[in-house]
Structure formats: structure tokens, C-alpha cells
Amino acid sequence: MRRYVIRRLIQAVVMLFVMSIGLFLLIHAMPGGPDAVLFSPRMTAATRANLRHQYGLDQPLIQQYLSWLKSVLTGNLGFSFASGQPVAAEIGARIPATLELFAVSLSFALVVAILLGVISAVRQYSLTDYSVTVLSYFGIAMPVFFFALIMQEIFGVKLGWLPTCCRTSADTTGFTAFENFQDAVIHLIMPAVVLSFLFIAGWSRYLRSSMLDVVKQDYIRTAKAKGLASRSVFFGHALRNALIPLLTQVAIDVGAVFGGAVITETIFAWPGLGKLFYNSLQARDYPVLLSMLLLGAASVIVFNLLADVLYAVIDPRIRYS
Amino acid sequence: MRSKFKLWSFAAALLLVAGMMLTACGPTATTSTSGPTKGGHITDGLFEEPDSLLPQQSIETYADLVDATIWAPLFYGDNTGIIQAGLAKEVPSATNGGISADAKTYTIHLRPNLKWSDGSPLTSDDVAFTLNLMKNPAYGAKTTASEFAKIATVTASDPSTVVITLSTPDVAFLALALTDPLGFAPLPKSVYGSMDPASIAKSDQNFQPTVVSGPFTIKERVKADHITVVRNPNYYQAGKPYLDQITFQIITDQNTILTQLQSHAIDTSWFLDINKLDQYKAIQGYKVVLDKAPGSFEAIYFNMKNPFLADLQVRKAITMGINVQPIIQNIWKGIAVPTCDDSVGTFAHEPSLIPCYTFNAAGAKQLLESDGFTMGSDGYYTKGGKTLELRYSTTAGKAYREQTETIVQDQLKQIGIKIDIVNHPADYYFGTQLYDYSAYDIAEFANSLGYDPDNHTQWACNQFTTAGGFNISAYCNPTVDAAINTELTNPDINARKAAFHTIHTQILQDIPVMYYYSAPDISCANAKLQNYSPSPAGPSETWNVWDWYLSK
């Protein structure tokens, strides 16, 4: 196993290097550039030249890439073209918000997906199963932005129960620590539910299918033949085995965390990585974009590896040589 | 049976939701007439996060909007486009001796006893230091650096007097270089004097300036989330601002801004979506506010490098074939107004020129036929074996522009002109496409000239894009060039007005452009918020933030 992990890590480094070249070229191939977005037509030629020099945009592309790679390898992600702030600070400031949103929505999604998946499998072809199936397809088909708008309209505008945006209230002057916590929780509910909806829909279908596969296995038949109660058969044997592929899927989905949830974060004005990515794309902020894309790629690679390792740890039948 | 009940419940819930969504909101509340009251917090929804909060370090209006709360400029523009004195005692002019006859020397007197937010004195030394800083390419002034490049010398002759000498005459220097905080506001020499100019934009001060001069100071800034400003006790206008605190909440989605307004979570937001106008109007306790005098105009520019468009008769036929009224009424819901010049929102605007275009489809066809065009079997005119086919370009993703070009495409089809719509992302369009004469035939976009009507970069013969200007029509007329020379060098306002009249009328004759309309920016605010009257230029929403107050 150790050799397998080391080999995968070495592959990951090579893959990231190749991806960094691809992403660098892709970003520079986008129409427009930071000059067009950030510079004013009334800027003097001297100032324009000076800024291009400061940003390193006056160097040949290969030189720009090598300079960027060198500084990344020394732990310096550079400075944002748009804000002038260090890229590490820009990204670092957004990580807590995105982690908070993902942690809550993925946890919620996992619990609900397991419940729905199990119920659906246990009562296969029942009205409940059909209802869950319809709702799941509804969840998969429903565009996130539209679902978010409906939620905002109902729970934010009409009922006034939940805030329609942001991580906290705009004015928290005089709030106690508990009130601040309460404020944060209430702001988290709607974006977390919206983000979890897609995961619930997908994962519950995954678990249902996995459960249906497992219940047909010989060891389940044996367990039943031994006279174990249905509850014990389902939860003690079937569910535990059915969860194995789901957990690997969850691990892979968690890997997307560093890409942020662009749509959800934009609609709910959530100050996370997704929103930063969107803004940086608009501004052609190359240093931020490159760092985020690479971080996202690294995260996907690491969580994929984690999923593979997890699979072997949970399922003793799996062996990596 | 139980499941059936659940289905019925679900269906009933859906109907209830649909019903709620269709329910109309209540009427708009009326405003109070009581006098200014001190205190209160408000929240303003910002559609974009300011990238920098230092003068000249951003080209964003949203940065300017926040800058106006923390920086006091020497001069500011009001909501009718008139320049007023800020930190300066009066607006320099040729009449009061503040501008020399050759338009090369500007003398500015500061108000007495000005202070920075930390209580230290704000003097002419700070102003001179900042002007020299802006002039330094290492600082990277982003908006009007070309104006600062004209500065030959800056002298702080006494603690309250600054004398600026330009290397070339520039009557628009005051309007373009010294008005509004995004353009110019003095920076404290005590903070920035010891910093390397190239490092200022990368410093923490760029994100959150600590010593400021405006009506408010920054209490807190959380990246991508909010900026909270609180009253500056050392602000030069005694007793102001009235509000204790403003929080700018970053909400980069127009639908969410709407729901925030509807749920009264924010008190105001500026630059709103025309397609949601009726929904803003329906918010109880809120008012929709339009610019007092619109400052921008939408127009199409004809690329006269195109052989068809080089022909005046074709350009004239196009203006006769386009009826702007459906665009104003259907897309802009009647709030846009026609314009026949590009000086809207400035002293040179001439409403008397309206109407300048007459919709006459039959006349347009006759004009084209008399110009040698013949109708082809496909319903489009041809000349010299070529179909009268033109590319119409604008920024992609702007619904009102895409709707406009569809209407125009249909209208021009009626007069035998084939229009191919070719849109681009805004940055690519303005940054690359419009600088390439081979890339477009007709270009649509909005423009705003700010406080000075000078637009020579668009009309002068030496301003073709190939020469670094913005004359995207490739238009050249010696009469216009002579008038441009007058308006650029003569500080007398009447002489400038006359020069602009010449430019406007000549352009209407030559038709390098067709003006569609001038549309106001849309704002929505809590009806209790008084003195809220956005300006079409400069910081727009917050130009007079010190005067805002909440009525009881």
C-alpha cells in the first residue's frame, strides 16, 4: 500500500506540472487580458508600460511561466492584478467561508442521502420509492440558480424567515458572541441547503443502487437464512457494504471544495473561493486564477487518492500491489 | 392512503408557493419632510467589490462610490454635473483668477483648518505630495494619468495654497484630473511619503486606508463580504455626516440584490437592472430613484473604413430606417430620453437639437435606390455585386443591448440592409475589437464623459485607433478639428459652448454616429433615507453621502 501511495503521489506531481502548463496556456488564450480589464484608456503609455512590467506581462510567455513556476515553488503565489494583495492572502481569506459552507452542506447531504437511499431501496417500487426517485431526478435536473431563487423568494422575501444573502448580517454592532453565532447559523441555512440538494439527489440514487446490488449478494441471503432480523440484515450488513462505493464518491466530491461553489456563492453573496474564482475570471486576474485552478486540481488528485486508499481500508477484498 | 395524502400535500404546497410568488407587493411609501436628524446605520448593496480604495488605483465606479465616503476631494461634481468646491475654498475659473488665461496655471486655495481623520493638519504640502505621486508612473495612476503627465510643476506656496503649472494648456484639467475622489484626493504625506510609490498598490493601505479625509473612516473590511464605515469626527463639514455608519455589503447578483431589498435587509442599491424596474417599484417602504440628469448615452458608431459606411447616403438611410421609440418604450420602459449630442450631463448638452433623426423607412429605401443600390431577390440591396450586409457588434450578455440589436436588425431588414450580429465579452470588445477597424462595421455601446464634454479622442482626425486614440468611426472633418482645438484651449465657457455646438451640428450632418438615447441609472432606497439623489457621474450614488439622513 505504501509503495502504491508513493507511486500515486509521484504521478500527481508530474500531472500537476503538466496541468500547470496547460492551464497557463489556456488562461492566456482567453480573449482580452488584464490590460483590457484593469487599465484605463486614459492611462499614459509610460504608466501602462510600467504596470505591464510590474505584472511581468512584458516578458515572453515562456519566461512568464517560468517566473511564475519559480515563485510558486518557493511558496510565493504572487500578487493579484486586481487588488494588489498577495494571492495567498486573497485565497486564504476565502477558505474559511467555503469550508464552512461545504462542511455543513456535505454533512447534511450525506445524512439525508443515506436516509433517502436506504428507504428507497428497502421499499423498492413502492410509492415512497417512486416519490424519492422523482424528487432525486428533480434535484439533479433543477438548475442550482433557479432553486436558489425559489428558496430566496419563499423563505427570504415572502416568509421572512431566512436572510437571502451573505455570511453574516451587515450590521452586527452590539451583538453578543451567542448572537453572532446565531446570526452565522441562520445565514448558512439557505446556501447550505441549496448546495446540498444536488449532492442529496445524486448520492441517494447511488446508495439506492448500491443497496439493491448488495441485498442480492450471497452473504445477505446467508444472514437472512441464519434468522437475523431484517433491521439487522439491512443496517448491520447491507448498509455497511453499500456505503463503501458511496464513501469513495463522497471523497471525490469533497475534492471539489477548492473550486468553491461558484453559482451558490455568487447568488448568496457568500465570500468564498467560488466567488473569488468568478471575479478573477472576469478581471483576467492570472495569478489568482492559476493558483486557484492548480489548488483545485491538487485537491481533486489528493481526494481521488484518498478515495482509493479509503476503498482499500474499508473493503478488505481490495489490495493494491 | 398515507402516501396519497403526502402527494396532495405536496401539490397544495406547490400551489401555495406559486400563489405567493404571483402576489403583488404593496405601494411605495411616501418620504418624510422633517429636517435632518443625526444618527442611524444603513446598509448599501454593492454589485461589485472595490479592488482598491486609493485614488487612481481603480477604474471601478464601485470603488469611487466607497472612496467618496472616506476621501474628501478638492472638488466634486453634483447630481446636475456642476463642479463644486470640496477641500478647496472655491472652484478656480478664468473669472476668479484661479485659471490663467493660457489655461496652463491653476491656483487652488484650501479651506482653513483642514484635518486628517487622525487629527493631524491637512495642508497644501499633502496636496503637492499627492499630485507628484500621481504623476509618477511607478504609482500606476489608472484613470486619468494622462492629465497628471501634463503637470510641469506643483508648488505649495503657503500651507493653504497650491499652484499647478501645466506643460500644455488644458481647460479640462480641473474636471478630468482634480474632481472626485477616484480622480484625485490628497493622501496624507505622513503615511505615504515614506513608501516606495510602486509598493503602495500592494500595501495594506490599498485595501483599507487608515488615515483619511472624508465624512467616514473605515471601521472594518472583510474581503468579498462587506466594508463598514463610521463617522469621521474630523471631517471638514461641521456637523456632518448625519449617519453614524454605512455598511457596504458586496452582492454580485442582481436577483439577490432584489430579494435583499424586498426583505428590507439592505437600505439601498445603485445601478440596478431595468428588467426589474416594476419589482423595485412594488417594494413597500422603498423608493425608486433615477438620476436627476442622465449622464451617459447609448449610440451606434459607423466604421467609415467599411466601403458601404464610407458613403454618407448609406449612413443617413440607416438613421432613417431605425425607429428608437420601441427601444425606449419597450426595453427602457419609457425612462430613457433621446439625445442628439454626446455632451449629456454636462454644460454643453443641447436638448434643443432634438429631434435629429426622422424615422422614414420608405424614404430610406428611396435614398439607397437613388444612391445606386438595387433590390436583390433575397430582399436586400446590392451595389457593385455586393449585398448591403453589415456586422453589428456590442457587448455580449447585456440583455437590453441584445434586445435592441434584434429590433434594429429587424428594422433594417425592412429597408433592405442585412445585419449580422457579432457580440463579444466586454473586456475583449473594449480592449481589443474596437481598436481593429477590420473587426466591426457598426458598434454599439454606452459612453459617459463625466464633468467635461471634451470628447476629442473620439472625433479628432489625429485620434484614429491606429494612432492610439479612440476615433472608432475613422471620422475626420477639419471644421470639427478646429472646434476641438478651441474647446481644448480656450478657458472661456461661452467660447467652449460655441465650439461644442459646432462639433455637435457637424457630427449630425456627417453621421459618424447615431445617438439612440440617454438612460438614467436606477437606484432603489429605503423611503426614510433623505437627500439620496444619485449623480450620473463620479461616485454616482454617494456623491453627497455626508448629507444623507434617516427621517423618523
Give residue A109's pLDDT. 93
Percent of chain A with pLDDT over 90: 35
Query: Cβ B245–A85 below 8 Å, yes or no?
Result: no
Give residue A173's pLDDT. 82
Which of chain B's residues have a Cβ under 8 Å away from the Cβ of A194?
none
For residue A234, give the DSSP letter.
I
Give residue A35's pLDDT. 67
Give residue B30's pLDDT. 42
Mean pLDDT of B140-168: 90
Q: What is the mean pLDDT of chain B?
A: 90
Give residue B26's pLDDT. 36
Instruction: Beginning with the edge strand found earlier in the chain, give each strand of the sheet holding B386-387 in spatial order.
Output: B374-375, B381-383, B386-387
Q: State how far residue A169 is from chain B, nearest Cα, in angstroms.
A: 8
Q: Just give the CATH number of A91-314.
A: 1.10.3720.10
Query: Cβ B266–A170 below 8 Å, yes or no?
Result: yes
Mean pLDDT of B501-518: 97
Q: What band does A260 get if pLDDT is binned at 50, 70 and 90?
A: low
Q: Strands B386-387 and B381-383, how do they pair?
A: antiparallel
Percent of chain B with pLDDT over 90: 73
Domains in chain B: boundaries: 9-291+521-550, 297-518
How would you label B103-115 residue by residue, b for 16+ Cβ within 10 Å and e otherwise? bbbbbbbbbeebe
Residues of chain A with CATH 1.10.3720.10: 91-314
Asked if residue B487 lies in contact with residue B503, where contact means CB atoms within 8 angstroms, the answer is yes
Alpha carbon distance A187, A194 (integer Å): 12
Nearest to B43 among A127, A154, A170 (CB): A170
In DSSP notation, B63-87 reads: HHHHHHHH---SEEE-TTS-EEESS
Three cell numbers at A211?
443497496
R_g (Cα) of chain A, nearest Å:
24
Which of chain A's residues have a Cβ under 8 Å away from the Cβ of B20?
153-154, 158
3-state secondary structure of A169: coil
CA-based end-to-end distance of chain A: 7
Mean pLDDT of B539-545: 95
Mean pLDDT: which of A236-240, B223-227, B510-514 is highest?
B510-514
Residues with Cβ < 8 Å from B199, sequence gap 6 or more?
A: none
In DSSP notation, B350-411 reads: -GGG-------HHHHHHHHHHTT-EE-TTS-EEETTEE-EEEEE-BTT-HHHHHHHHHHHHH
- Tell which wins on pLDDT, B356 or B467: B356
* Chain B residue nearest residue A32, CA to CA: B428
Q: How many CB pairs under 8 A join A and B?
A: 177
Query: Cβ A152–B256 below 8 Å, yes or no?
Result: yes
Q: State how far residue B260 is from chain A, nearest Cα, in angstroms.
A: 6
pLDDT at A255 over 90: no
Asked if residue A32 lies in contact with residue A286, where contact means CB atoms within 8 angstroms, the answer is no
* Chain A residue nearest residue B59, CA to CA: A40
* Chain A residue nearest residue B254, CA to CA: A267
How would you label B59-84 residue by residue, b for 16+ Cβ within 10 Å and e otherwise? bbbbbbbbbbbbbbbbbbbbbebebe
Asked if residue B240 lies in contact with residue B257, where contact means CB atoms within 8 angstroms, the answer is no
Query: Cβ B252–A153 below 8 Å, yes or no?
Result: no
Q: What is the mean pLDDT of chain A?
A: 86
pLDDT at B61 over 70: yes
pLDDT at B456 over 60: yes
Q: State how far residue B352 is from chain A, nearest Cα, in angstroms.
A: 31
Alpha carbon distance B459, B279 (integer Å): 40
- Kindly indicate whether the ipTM for this predicted assembly is greater than 0.90, answering yes or no: no
Q: What band does A249 get if pLDDT is binned at 50, 70 and 90?
A: confident
Q: Just give the CATH number of B9-291+521-550.
A: 3.40.190.10
Q: What would the pLDDT profile of A99-112 be if each residue is shown by its tens digit?
A: 999 999 999 999 99
Interface probe, candidates B47, B51, B196, B245, chain A, greatest A C-beta count within 10 A:
B51
Query: Cβ B225–A166 below 8 Å, yes or no?
Result: yes
Residues with Cβ < 8 Å from B153, sequence gap 6 or more?
A: B163, B164, B165
Q: What would the pLDDT profile of B409-443 be if each residue is shown by its tens digit?
A: 999 999 999 999 999 877 678 777 888 999 999 99
Which residues, in sequence order, are bridge partners of residue B221?
B227
Asked if residue A34 lies in contact with residue A284, where contact means CB atoms within 8 angstroms, the answer is yes
Which residues, in sequence order, are bridge partners of residue B431?
none
Q: What would the pLDDT profile of B369-381 be if each residue is shown by its tens digit?
A: 999 999 999 999 9
* Chain B residue nearest residue A131, CA to CA: B7
Nearest to B141 among A47, A49, A171 (CB): A47
**CA distance readout (Å), B163 to A313, B171, B181, B489:** 77, 15, 20, 19
Q: State how far residue B365 is from chain A, nearest Cα, in angstroms.
A: 39
Query: Cβ B140–A167 below 8 Å, yes or no?
Result: no
Which of chain B's residues have a Cβ under 8 Å away from the Cβ of A33?
427, 431
Instruction: Specify the residue for cell string 475659473.
Output: B93
The CATH fold assigned to B297-518 is Dipeptide-binding Protein; domain 3 (3.10.105)
Query: Cβ B20–A44 below 8 Å, yes or no?
Result: no
- Tell which wins on pLDDT, A85 or B361: B361
Instruction: Specify the residue for cell string 446565531.
Output: A182
Determine if residue B430 is left, alpha or beta; phi over 0 gives left, psi from -120 to 50 gives alpha, anything else beta: alpha
Beta strand extents in B473-548 (DSSP E only): 513-517, 522-526, 529-530
Nearest to B142 among A43, A79, A276 (CB): A43
